[in-house]
Amino acid sequence: MTVIKQEDFIQSICDAFQFISYYHPKDYIDALYKAWQKEENPAAKDAMTQILVNSRMCAENNRPICQDTGIATVFLKVGMDVQWDADMSVEEMVNEGVRRAYTWEDNTLRASVLADPAGKRQNTKDNTPAVIHMSIVPGDKVEVTCAAKGGGSENKSKLAMLNPSDNIVDWVLKTIPTMGAGWCPPGILGIGIGGTPEKAVLMAKESLMSHIDIQELQEKAASGAELSTTEALRLELFEKVNALGIGAQGLGGLTTVLDVKILD
């Protein structure tokens, strides 16, 4: 049986949020670089150049470049055989980790979360409480996925209750142009389909946690291999959303999304 100590868990959460404040995942950098290589619009190419340069500066100096260091979102998969050596609840430990990360004196991150959001709207000053999604799974391990979800993209989230006869692709293509550039394209489009409204939105966000693999999917399609419904939908949306010409930072160009993710 695995015993997880309170201090170890808290510090792991803290370390994770500090890490992602200045390091981009390699799959994102690789995908953005490939998009930069093929971009023909000078303004869009320059915007992607700035993102790539900024990303390198972040990594070299352990400092975030963007002032929006996100709403702390944590996905937890807790093994049924895990034993906790802790006095705090799991949620309390997560929030303590977030508090440490965002108030760490060597790299203080912006606190964006408000208490009493419909009233006084006072900043909690440590970016807590985090948004926590927890599931209990077989096994003796705890899997933690942390995301600092930027407000620009978060505020552009959309939900629609479609009829069975409605076309998902049509709705996405109608909706994307209404979002402006506040979500800072080129990004990754996450879509959740089915279930209740909150379940669909949760699936959309969770889909964004997986690696960028649209090129592998394109190669699979080119080989003649059979695609699942969601795989075919991902490819169709990837091509059609990029054909909208919104481009990097809304400046036009070939790449609006680097990947499309779907969970249903």
pLDDT 10s digits, 77-124? 999 999 999 999 999 999 999 999 999 999 999 999 999 999 999 999
Rounded to whole angstroms, the Cα distance separating 99 from 128 reads 6
| Whole-number pLDDT of residue 120 | 96
| Whole-number pLDDT of residue 98 | 98
Distances (CA, A) of 264 to 7, 119, 203, 231, 260: 36, 36, 7, 12, 13
| Whole-number pLDDT of residue 153 | 87
| Whole-number pLDDT of residue 47 | 97
| Whole-number pLDDT of residue 128 | 98
Q: Which of 203, 13, 3, 205 is nearest to 91 (CA)?
A: 13
Spans of the chain, pLDDT less than 70: none
| Whole-number pLDDT of residue 28 | 97
Residue 192: strand pairing partners: 263
| Whole-number pLDDT of residue 254 | 97
| Whole-number pLDDT of residue 1 | 85
Contact 255, 35 (CB under 8 A): yes
Q: Cα dihedral sign for 169, 171, 177, 181?
A: negative
Other C-beta atoms closer than 10 Å to the C-beta of 105 total 5
- Angle formed by the axes of helices 214-222 and 26-38, nearest 10°: 60
Q: Which of 254, 234, 262, 250 is nearest to 185 (CA)?
A: 250
| Whole-number pLDDT of residue 238 | 98
